[in-house]
Amino acid sequence: MRFKFLLGFSIALLSGIFNMPVAAENQAAFRIGIAPHTSARVIVEMYQPLRIYLENALGRPVEIVTAGDFTEFARRGLQQQYDLSVTTGHQARLFEADAGYLPLMTYKTDFKAVFLVASNSSYHEPRDLANSTVIGLSPSSLVTIWGQHWLHRNAVANVNIRYVSASDSVAQLVLNGEGAAGMTSLANYQNLQPAVRDRLRILNESLPLVGRVYLLNKRHAAMKERINSLLWAFAETPEAQQYFQKYKLVGYRKLDSRELVEMTPYANEVRQALKQIK
């Protein structure tokens, strides 16, 4: 009995430290799935204001969850593991088309993918990357798919793609000389520590793409208007304004359905990546 008491106390204490609710089965926690665009620790920190707001508004536990990489995140999303999902446009299109998720909104700031190189490197043209290693996120990441298309369009020969799990790792590996270039989002590049960011330069950047999209699981279709209203109300809070400013997101905006349709070719590549791991 003493062991059970100590174990239960330890779980409760750890839950309090991380400010995350321990969801018993009968509490039906509302799960917000965030695409792994950075480390899990940073994701939990970023979305704490939204978690707390929705938990208070819904009167039920709310959890922030992610996955080890974009491919695993896509697999879990298609398995309906998220009540609300926040993911880049190509996976949003996949979730909408294949799993019935309902798109709600995106951010005002344009989403762009970038190729980063060390500021003092000799890489200035696409052809300079021939016979080199390039660092990317998982094969299902939008920035990685865009980057591989860019390499193909520019006929860059014999490039080895090395996949890692977090954008800050991409920058460090490039600076350590373990890759000639790295693929990440413009926002993640801008959010690097100045001491790191100043040692890098952008070799190429994409046109604007559909960034992180909020999608509601189809099983909550009856709650769509309520969840949508809560998100817009959250956007007006001081906590949300601080979040938008810190991460250079400006705010939410409505999503044009055509924007996701245009992401279909990228969504198709995620489907192929998922088939390869089955």
For domain 113-205, the CATH architecture is 3-Layer(aba) Sandwich (3.40)
CATH number for the segment(s) 17-110+210-276: 3.40.190.10
Residue holding tokens 């978690």?
51
113-205 and 17-110+210-276 share a CATH fold:
yes
Question: CB–CB of 105/118 below 8 Å?
Answer: no
Q: Taking 80 as the threshold, does the pLDDT of residue 40 lie above it?
A: yes
Q: Taking 90 as the threshold, does the pLDDT of residue 166 lie above it?
A: no
Average of per-residue pLDDT values in the chain: 89
Tokens of 124: 């200035």
pLDDT confidence of residue 15: 36
Question: CB–CB of 53/104 below 8 Å?
Answer: no
The two most distant CA atoms of the chain are separated, in Å, by 68
CA dist 45 and 43 (Å) reads: 5
Q: What is the arithmetic mean of pLDDT over 101-123? A: 96
Q: What is the arithmetic mean of pLDDT over 203-209? A: 94
What are the residue ranges spanned by the domains of the chain?
A: 17-110+210-276, 113-205
252 φ, ψ to 5°?
Answer: -85, 160
Q: What is the 3-state secondary structure (H, E, C) of the chain?
A: CHHHHHHHHHHHHHHHHHCCCCCCHHHCCEEEEECCCCCHHHHHHHCHHHHHHHHHHHCCCEEEECCCCHHHHHHHHHCCCCCEEEECHHHHHHHHHHHCCEEEEEECCCECEEEEEECCCCCCCHHHHCCCEEEECCCCCHHHHHHHHHHHHCCCCCCEEEECCCHHHHHHHHHCCCCCEEEEEHHHHHCCCHHHHCCEEEEEECCCECCCEEEECHHHHHHHHHHHHHHHHHCCCHHHHHHHHHCCCCCEEECCHHHHHCCHHHHHHHHHHHHHCC
Q: What is the arithmetic mean of pLDDT over 145-152? A: 95
Residue 276: pLDDT band with limits 50, 70, 90: confident
pLDDT confidence of residue 27: 66
- String of b and e for 62-85 (b: at least 16 CB within 10 Å)? bbbbbbebbbbbbbbbbeeebbbb
Burial class (CB within 10 angstroms; exposed 0-12, middle 13-18, buried 19+) of 244: middle
Q: Taking 90 as the threshold, does the pLDDT of residue 86 lie above it?
A: yes
pLDDT confidence of residue 3: 40
Q: What is the arithmetic mean of pLDDT over 228-244? A: 97
Residue holding tokens 């000389």?
177
209 φ, ψ to 5°?
Answer: -120, 165
pLDDT confidence of residue 137: 87
